Amino acid sequence: MRSKLFATLALTCLLCGFNLVPVAADMTAMPGAKCSMPGMTVTVAKLTYLCQSKAGVLTWSTGLPVSKVAITLTDGWVKLATTGMSGAFGIVKNNTKNAVTIVGVASARAAAVQTHEMVMKNGAMVMQMKMDGFTIPAGKTLELKPGGNHLMLMGITKPIKAGDYLYLTLTTSTGGQATVRVIGKVFAGGNETYDTSNTTAMKP
């Protein structure tokens, strides 16, 4: 079933300005979708598949049975962007009695949405993909903000304008899903540098 293809992605990072390196993508046969970027999710026949990097190769996870999960996002907003990347922020609350891990995010307005964190590298704060997702303890909140943890919209499909509503579907490690809304806002900050060196799949 698996056919390995190499696809070249030339996304320009809106926040940091440099081009993402061409990606060797593993295009596992999923109906209508290619696993071309870590963080992508696809839901088919009540199963959600996550695009993950394993030993430097992008592969779809096994299907997680979709259910609803009580995660909410308040104060949600997304930075305006015409192409490329943009950051989405807000306060995510885990309203369940167990810890949840957000491992995938999807939006109709972006090719992929990744979970990003800020780390210190060579004396500078850079953002990078958080490969294991965001874990939120039971009943607790996680603040997503410029300069901290955030959601990264990659490959924006249609310009995000001021006042636009965007819907993001958050998927947990157990297949739980919640759809949340963010609003497009003018914001000058949040121009972090994107470090892709930990995103192992992004080697040619």
Partner 1 sequence: MSDHSGISRRSLLVGSGAAGVAGASIGYFGKKSSAVQSMTEVAKIGFYGVHQSGIENTPGLISNFVAFDLIDPTKANLQSVLRLFTDDAARLTQGKPALADGAPELAVNPANLTMTLGVGPSLFTRVPRLPSKPEFFNEIPAFPNDQLDPKWSGSDFIIQFCCDDSLTLSHAVGMIAKDLSTLAQVRWIQTGARSDKPAFSGTTSVRNLMGQVEGSDNPLPGNPIFNSLVWINEGPQWAKDGTILILRRIQMLMDKWEILDRSAQEMVIGRRLDNGAALGNKVENEPVNFEATDTLGLPLISANAHIRLAHGASLSERIYRRPYNYDNGIVDGKRDLGLIFAAFTSNPVTSYLPIQGRLAQSDSLNKWITAIGSSTYLILPGCTENSYIGETLFT
Task: Please report, as ranges, the residues that interact with partner 1 according to CB under 8 A.
Answer: 75-77, 79-80, 89, 161-165, 183-189
The DSSP code for 82 is S
Measure the CA–CA gap between 142 and 37, rounded to whole angstroms. Answer: 24
Residue 163: contacted member of partner 1, Cu ion, none (CB under 5 to 8 Å, by partner type): partner 1
Least distance CB 133 / partner 1 (angstroms):
24
DSSP 134-149: EEE-TT-EEEE-TTSS
Give the shortest CB-102-to-Cu ion separation in angstroms. Answer: 15
Task: Please choose which of partner 1, Cu ion, none residue 77 contacts, taking the beta carbon within 5 to 8 angstroms, the exact cut-off set by kind.
Answer: partner 1
- Restricting to residues 139-158, name those near Cu ion by CB under 5 A: 152
187 binds, among Cu ion, partner 1, none (CB under 5 to 8 A by kind): partner 1
Q: Which does 165 bind (CB under 5 to 8 A by kind): Cu ion, partner 1, none?
A: partner 1
Separation of first and last alpha carbons in the chain: 23
- Residue whose CB is less far from partner 1, 49 or 89: 89
Q: How far does CA 191 lie from the centroid of its chain?
A: 17
- In sign, the C-alpha dihedral spanning 31, 34, 35, 40 is negative
79 Cα distance to chain centroid: 15
* Residue 79 beta carbon to partner 1: minimum distance, rounded to whole angstroms: 8
Q: Does 116 bind Cu ion (CB under 5 A)?
A: yes
Per partner kind, with CB cut-offs from 5 to 8 A, the member of Cu ion, partner 1, none near residue 79 is partner 1
Least Å distance, CB 194 to Cu ion, is 6
Three-class secondary structure of residue 3 per DSSP: coil
Cβ contact 57:51 at 8 Å: no
Residue pair 185/77 in contact by the 8 Å Cβ criterion: yes
Q: Which is nearer to partner 1, 165 or 167 (CB)?
A: 165
Q: b vs e for 132-145, b when ≥16 Cβ sit within 10 Å of the residue's Cβ?
A: ebbbbeeeebbebe
Chain residues binding Cu ion by CB under 5 A are 116, 127, 152
